[in-house]
Structures are given as C-alpha cells and as structure tokens.
A and B are shown apart, each in its own frame.
Chain A
C-alpha cells in the first residue's frame, strides 16, 4: 500500500499550533533561561501565544472545512466560537495564574520540610505552570473541533494531564492540593478508560473512526445496535465526567477546593467549554439520528445533575466547594442545551458557556483576594461583613453570584432563558420545570452569601482583602463588565452566534 503525504490547512490549525509552539518555547525557557528572567519571559510568551492564536482564529473565522487535517479536525463556525471562548477565558485566567502567591515554591518538596522552607526563602517560582497551562489550552482548543475518535481521545488526554499536575501546585494546604491532584488523576484516568472503550465499541459498530462515518452508519442503521449502545454509553461516561455531571461529578468539589484557586477558576471555566464543545459536536453530529436511544437517559441525568448540585450547594460552608456544586448545577443546565438538539439549543449553549465561563473566572479571581495570614479564606462564615470592609469587591462578587442565579440584567439570565426555551422548544417540558425549581433552590445559597457579605457584621479574625495585583484587577473588571453588558445588551453577541454557529459534518 502506498503512503499519502498528509495535507494540512495550516491557516485553520494555526490557533492550536501557535499555542503548542508557545508551550514548547516555555519548556525550553524552563530548561535554559536563568531563574530571574523566567517568570517575566514565561508570562510574555504565554500571553503572546494566546493573543496571537486569537488573532489567527479571527483571520479564519468565516472559513469552514472538514479536512483541516485529513478529516481529523472539523473547522466550522461552532468550532471557532468554542475556541474563541476558550482563548478569552484562558487569557483572563492567565492573569490570575500570574499572581504567583497561589503557587508552591517547589512542587517536588515535601510539605513542611526544610527543603520547602529554603525554596520559599529563595523565592523560587513554579513557572512551569505557564507551559502546562498552554498545553492544556492546546488540548482544549483541539477537543471541540476533533472530528475523529483518535483526535478526540488525544485531545482529551492533552487537556487533562497538565491539569492533573496543576491541581497539585498550591502554595498553602499542600496536602490537600496533592490529594486533589491524586484524586483528579486517578478518577480522570479511570474515566478516560471508559471513554476509550466507548471509542472501541463505536468503531466496532460503524467500522469508521470519524464522526461523520459513525453518523452515516447511524443513519444507515447498519451495524450492531448493541455496540452503538455501549459506545454511546461509555463515551458519555468519559465526557460527562469532564463536565462534572452526576453521578460522575464526585471529583469536582474536592479538586476545586484543593487546587490553587487560579487553576480552579481556569479549569472550571475553560474545561467546561471544551468538554461541552466536544459533547455538542459528538451528539449533534454523530448521534443526532439515534436520539431515541440516548436522549431520555440524558434528560434524566440533566435533571438529577441540576437538582443535586443546587441542593447540596445549600449546605456548603466553603466558598470554593459551593462554587463547585454550583458548577455541577450549571452542567445540568447546559445539558439542557445538548438535549435540545436544535440550532437554537446550540446557540444557547455557546452563549451560556461563554457567559458562565467569564463569570466563573471573575468569581474565583475574587476568591483569591480574600485572605488571612495563612492564605486564602474559604470558610464562608469568615466572609461576613465583607460588604462593609470592601464594598466594591463584595458588590462585584454579588454581581457574579446574581449572574449564576440567573437574575435579570446579568448574562446568566439571558443564558438561562435561551437555553431553557431551546430545551422546551424541542419538547422536553420536564427539563424546563426541573430547571426552574432547581434555580429557585440555587437562588437560596447565592443569596445566603450576599446576606453574609452585606447584612452580617464582620468578625475580626484577620480576614482581610488584599490589594489585587494589576492583572487580577483586569481579570475581575473585565469579567464583571462582560457579565453586566451581556445581561443588558446581549443582542450583538447573540446575533453573531446565530450567524456563525453551525456544525459541519
């Protein structure tokens, strides 16, 4: 058999390639650049790579082709939107990550050991975090545009592996951080095993590894439905794990709490976009015609996820855990978009993902600012009276919470409205009702935090709000602005999405 030289459309792959290049340069810097200059150069490279990639993406925003890389990457409107959202969120998140206060001096050192103390005194910095982030971002960019199963699997691992490591880099409470890394890794690997098996069965079902190929055999009805069933089920396990849907959610509260807050924010926002991008593509492109098989199950999972996330969040005392459960609930809401299985569903999901992602980064950005002598203060009770001490910060956090709760004039409301109407339009009333009820429950704990911050008197226990670094300020400000603008005048974005968002097969 003769060998065909692969023909690649570099313009369309550029966004990903640029990020990867940035990552590699970062590795080289780690290897050769003197310690002193590392941080600045890393930061520069990273930002440069991301901005450049965004620019490159902008260049090709209107193109669409199935064979960007021999049919392994589908380049289309939806893909562009996912990638753009990921890049924007990533840039915002990098600003948080750049605040090195969050990261351990020397990841390898044993917590509490002299080694660690020396490292701290020497003011070492884990600048590796930048290339790791870039690798993860590259994976995330690839995930939602991957159009065959290999690429899908590779992308999944590519975004996961760096995250496993980054979860373990926290400067304080390192045992927790490492535990988070371990759990995330073991469970992640476990889930990806299921994912892989799913791939295998789909391959067995259709004899093809491209999404379009699978779609054809689903339409054609050829092949053994048992394999299709197993394939869909196992692949869903892998994907639902990533978005943290019940019952595959268990990792997220622990990891969210253990990981350095900046990373949590990045992971919570960006991973959701990437994973949902992939889910949407797979289910819209390949399994659309088999909806009768998976949709009811998905509906049930969505409902359970919303309700579970909201109900458990009520009882949380730690702000990061609370946000984790709220993100579980939001995963449930987003599944409504998958179930809608319509263009409006797709548009709604994209808008929701972007709005939610931005707000999430902002919220975690604020979490990094509330500290005492021993680092961040997660305990919500110690957040009481924050509104008195730093009204601006408290109000901003309140804004994000209101957005999560879906109160009008915030982006969250538009998102919620559009996604639920899409779901209801496609006939799933149960989702609408469950969504409304769980939103009511959710409102309870968002408001509880607002009450704590504004209506409770502050406890003098050294909890204070540090002056945010310029970069952090930028992140928070931008996120807040976006959240508000998308709430008051979302028309431009919605129209843009409406004109762009399409999947090609």
Chain B
C-alpha cells in the first residue's frame, strides 16, 4: 500500500478508534491518540529513509480517479520539499499531544472531540503537502480550516470565538481567491488538451496564458498563501489566533498550517506561473523584508508572551518568503530548511510558553519574573528555544537563516542587508522576555511554580535534540532538499549568480 496514503489513513482510523472509546475514559483516549500519532511519526521517518534523494521526480506516487469528468484525481506524491514538511508535521503532532496532555480540559467539549479533531487535522496536514492534484490540494487546504477553527474556538483561551472566526474568515477569503484562480486554470487546461488538475500538466499551461491572465491567476494563489504564511500586511489574524488557541493548536497552526503558505508559493506560484513570479518578485521581496523588520518590532513591543511568539513568526516567515523569491539554490534550500526548523523552534517556544502560562494562569510577560531560580529546567528550555529563534549559530535555525541571507544577497543585496538588521532585533525580542520572565528577582505569584515533570521533559527533549543536532549537522535534511530546490530553479530557468569578482578575472 502506498506509504503516503497509509500515513493519511492511520490518523483517520485512529480517530474512529477514539470515537468508540467511551468519553469518560479520558486517559485511554489520550494514550490512544499518542500511540497513533507516534505510529504515524514512525511511518513518516521510514518514508524518509526510503526516499531516494537523488531522484527529483515525485516519489511514492499514487493516483486514483476521483471526479473523472472534471479531470480530478486523488493523486499524491512527494519530492524533497514536501517530504521535509510532512516529516515535520508527523514529528510535531505526537510532541504536541504529549506536551499538551491536559489541554483538552477546560474546553467546550470533551477530550474525545479534541483528539479526534487533532487526528483529522493530522491527516489533512499530510495530505495538503502530499497532494499532486491541485483540486485535491485546494479541498484539503480549505477543509483543514474547520478542525483548527473548532480547536481554537472550542478549547482555546481568552476571546477564542472571535479569534477563531477572524482566522476562518481571513483564510476563507484567501481560499476563495485561490478558487477563482483554480477555476481559471481548469478552464484554460480544458481549452488546451482537456480538463486536468495534475500539477505537472498544469505547469505547462502558462504557455497558453496572456501575461495579464497569468498575473491575475498568480495573485489569486499568492494572496491566499500570503494570508496563510502570514505576510505583511495580511498578518493581523495570526496573533489573535495564536494567542487564543491552546499551545498545541498554536504549534500546529504556526508550525505546520502556516507552512502551507510558503510551501504553496514554491509548489504552485513558482511552478504554475513562472513569468508572473518574476514579474512580482520585487514587490514580494519588499513585502518580505517589511515583514521581517515589522514583525520583529511588534514582537519587541508585545506584552503577551504568546503574541510575541506569533510576531516573531511573522518575521521568520518574511525570511522564508524572501529566500523563496531570491531564486537561488541557497535561498530555496535555506527557506525549505527554515520551514522545518521554524516548525521546531516555534514549537519549543510555544510549548514552554504554554506551560508557563498554564502554571501562572496568565501569559502576560509582566506577570512572570525570576523563573530561572524557581523552575530552572523550564527556564532553560525557553532560553534554548529562544536562542534557536534568534538563530544562534550552532542551532538549527542559524543554518537556514544564514543560507537565506546569503542566497538573497547574491541577487538582491539591499534586501538581504536590511533583513540582516533583523538579527539584531531578534536579539532584543528574545532577550527582553528572557530578562523579564526568567531573570531578575522572583516576583510574587511565581515563588512556587512547579518545574517540568517527567512527561513534559520527555515531550520537550526531542525538540531540543532536533534543534541542536540539525544546527551542527544539517546534512541529512539538506541532502533531501538540495536536489529538489535545484530542480525547481532549473525548471524556472534560474542559475545562481557567479562570484562577481572571480567571474571577471
């Protein structure tokens, strides 16, 4: 049986299993969820091992007719790009389950519903990256909003309903624009060789479009992805959603769902509309740079730890987008690796922040103080996660961030230079909360917060391991990523700029 399909089926079956467990056996339900997600993670890792990184074509492909008269297939397959993201998703999910062991309490509905939603979401997360049929991708892209919507609105904190609605409406709006573009593609494909949604076939279609059409269709896709990723100025839904959701939800939201945006930019915007991509590159690079600096400043100004993390993500997504549209191998590989690393460093930050908030009963930075004395392990976890977020050399995100910067510099030096100022701001937006929350005298209300327990340590340990290991030895992922990015750029007809000086000589 096809590896990807199996990976997608497992969580669904798991959710059915959970559905039959009586609601009052919460522990059983949690264990089941954990077991299933772990199983999926294992399958994911196996897929990674069986993946032939030399081959740039889609692998583990499977295609089944779905709606033949519209030329729609259930078609899945992975290349280096999607494999890395799927790997990230399936690794993060069990961690989220374990870390947020008690998140389901205090929700509007039972733990049962919570974990069913999580598992359904996992299936969709895998599918959205694995889909090689644009229609299938769109369906999952839209459908996965629903579980997240209920996860935020049903189990979140604060003004969760409003946040959930804002998130949903924003995303739906983008989705509908994309739908318009997809219809456009569909019609054009119909006029040129029969209706199809096969990404490979559709990537030929740009030859049959007027540049205006191509630009419009491109925008339809790009705006949808820019909302997801979130790119300035379409980011305002994120802080609310991230702050209101449970830590676990926010991890999946920032770590995985938002990656669909940047993933889509590569997979669809570039592949389907190469000329339009070139046309819009200057604008997009500008927006990306703005996001980097803007997000960093807002993070510095943030008073709520969760919102702060959300804003840092806006900055990071700026980096990713910039790397993508720099159109250099370093930029592309860097961005892809960045997606993976950001998944883990944000996960670490959010998980720990969630623990801090749930212990203290508040996520206001001002309410914390001197945690390093009280809860050293938790403080350290937060600190390391923060260091990874500010891309400290030796930690994973440094490799990707530096690749993005170098890759951008060779083609767009100005953008890269401005973006680099982001690393100074990063130092500020991480160290300010570190000082306020972890350092200084232990402030009232924090004296006897409990430190991490075994479960929490077990949950956070692998994240830390990945962050550090990939910092020193990113090769395992880069080997998978490089051929794909090289291939994509090759198809786009881009070649890396040669060293200017030695080129002359």
Contact = CB atoms under 8 A, between A and B. Distances in A.
- A touches B in complex, CB < 8 A: yes
A433 interface: yes
Contact of B68 (A391, A414, A425, A491): A491
B338 to A, nearest CB: 29
Interface residues of B, number: 34
Contacts of B190: 425
Interface in A83-136: none
Interface stretch (A62-70, A220-228, A249-257, A450-458): A450-458
A468 interface: no
B138 A455 contact: no
B146 A440 contact: no
A158 B183 CA distance: 40
A443 B69 contact: no
A408 B139 contact: yes
Given A388-B108, A409-B139, A455-B108, A491 B69 contact: yes
Interface string B50-73: 000000000000000111111000
Contact of A439 (B69, B70, B161, B176): B176
Contacts of A454: 108, 150, 153-154
Given A409-B139, A436-B179, A444-B169, A455 B153 contact: yes
B160 interface: yes
Interface string A408-450: 1100011001101100110000001100110110011001100
A451 B153 contact: yes
A393 interface: no
Nearest to B138: A408
B168 A421 contact: no
Interface string B164-192: 11001100110011011001101100100
A490 interface: yes
A451 B165 contact: yes
A425 B67 CA distance: 18
A495 interface: yes
A455 B183 contact: no
Nearest to A495: B69
A197 interface: no
B142 interface: yes
A456 B153 CA distance: 10
Nearest to B144: A408
Interface in B138-163: 138-140, 142-143, 146, 150, 153-154, 160-161
B30 to A, nearest CB: 21
A433 B216 CA distance: 11
A443 B150 contact: no
A494 interface: yes
A447 B165 contact: yes
A494 B139 contact: no
A304 interface: no
Contact of B183 (A387, A405, A424): A424
Given A455-B161, A494-B70, A408 B108 contact: no
* B contact patch SS: helix
A443 B172 contact: yes
Nearest to A455: B161
B432 to A, nearest CB: 34
A425 B187 contact: yes
A455 B187 contact: no
A417 B66 CA distance: 15
Chain A contact-residue range equals 35 or more
A298 interface: no
Interface in B67-82: 67-70
Contact of A408 (B68, B142, B168, B187): B142
Given A408-B139, A424-B183, A451-B161, A418 B172 contact: no
A402 B143 CA distance: 10
A437 B179 CA distance: 11
Contacts of A443: 168-169, 172-173, 176
Given A425-B190, A490-B67, A440 B173 contact: yes
Given A408-B139, A444-B169, A491-B66, A456 B161 contact: yes
A417 B160 contact: no
A421 B188 CA distance: 10
A252 B138 CA distance: 34
A21 interface: no
A408 B172 CA distance: 11
A407 B184 contact: no
A24 interface: no
Nearest to A414: B67
A405 B165 CA distance: 14
A414 B70 CA distance: 10
Interface string B299-326: 0000000000000000000000000000
A22 B164 CA distance: 51
Contacts of B70: 417-418, 494
A436 B65 contact: no
A490 B67 CA distance: 7
A436 B176 contact: yes
Contacts of B66: 489, 491
A229 interface: no
B177 A407 contact: no
A498 interface: yes
A488 B153 CA distance: 25
Contacts of B146: 402, 407
A414 B186 CA distance: 14
Contact of A440 (B108, B176, B187): B176
B134 to A, nearest CB: 12
Contacts of B161: 451, 455-456
A495 B66 CA distance: 12
Contacts of B177: 436
A45 B164 CA distance: 50
A455 B160 contact: yes
Contacts of A448: 165
A418 B195 CA distance: 12
Nearest to A497: B69
Nearest to A489: B66
B117 to A, nearest CB: 12
A455 B67 contact: no
Nearest to B183: A421
Interface string A396-409: 00000010010111
Contact of B143 (A408, A417, A425, A456): A408
B116 to A, nearest CB: 12
A425 B186 CA distance: 9
Nearest to B168: A447
B73 to A, nearest CB: 11
Residue from B138, B154, B168 having most chain A Cβ neighbours under 10 A: B168
Contacts of A498: 69
Contacts of A490: 67
A402 B142 CA distance: 12
Contact of A417 (B109, B164, B179): B179
Contacts of B65: 491
Contact of A433 (B68, B109, B165, B180): B180
Interface in B115-150: 138-140, 142-143, 146, 150
A414 B143 CA distance: 13
Which 10 A-B pairs have CB atoms at the shortest separation, nearest pair first? A455-B161, A408-B139, A408-B142, A421-B183, A436-B180, A436-B176, A425-B187, A491-B67, A440-B173, A443-B172
6 contacts: A391-B109, A424-B183, A424-B187, A455-B153, A455-B161, A491-B69
Given A447-B169, A455-B154, 7 more contacts: A408-B138, A432-B183, A433-B180, A440-B176, A456-B161, A491-B68, A494-B69
